[in-house]
Amino acid sequence: MALKRYIVELGYGTDLHGGNATKAACRAVKDAVSRSCLCGLFEIFALENPNAMHVQVKIACPKPEEIDGEQVLAAVPFGTKKLEIVSGGMMTRGLEVPELGSGENIFVAIAALTVSVSVS
């Protein structure tokens, strides 16, 4: 059986105080998930189990080496998951508020989630 793409959804996530790459990436994944209703998988492909879908997660961020991949994949609620992290996103100067995190960098991550299903 071959995997066929069903949807590609994009998401945007930030950490406004502290420059936490994982936090921004998880927020980007959750943003993409929150805008995706995959009813067609169940109605058109007759998918019975949401864990039968495959989700390819691609994250672009300024410091890919700082991402905790397990936390990012945990933000995807269903399916088999695969993660790719590339350099990208953005970092810009913000405002340090010690109660909210250390550092003044605003950290931006972008996620692309590709959902595929096996079809014969």
Over residues 84-94, the pLDDT tens digits come to 999 999 999 98
Please choose, from the candidates 116, 92, 115, 117, the residue with its C-alpha nearest in 3D space to the C-alpha of residue 29: 115
Residue pair 11/110 in contact by the 8 Å Cβ criterion: yes
pLDDT value of position 42: 85
In 16-89, where do the E strands start and end? 54-61, 80-87
pLDDT value of position 41: 85
pLDDT value of position 98: 78
User: How far is residue 60's CA from residue 49's CA, in Å, rounded to a whole number?
Assistant: 29
Please choose, from the candidates 33, 22, 26, 31, the residue with its C-alpha nearest in 3D space to the C-alpha of residue 62: 22
The structural architecture, per CATH, of the domain 2-119 is 2-Layer Sandwich (3.30)
In 16-104, where do the E strands start and end? 54-61, 80-87, 90-93
The domain segmentation of the chain, as residue ranges, is 2-119
pLDDT value of position 75: 97
Instruction: Report pTM.
Output: 0.91
Residues of the chain short of pLDDT 50, as ranges, are none
- Quick one: DSSP state of residue 75? T
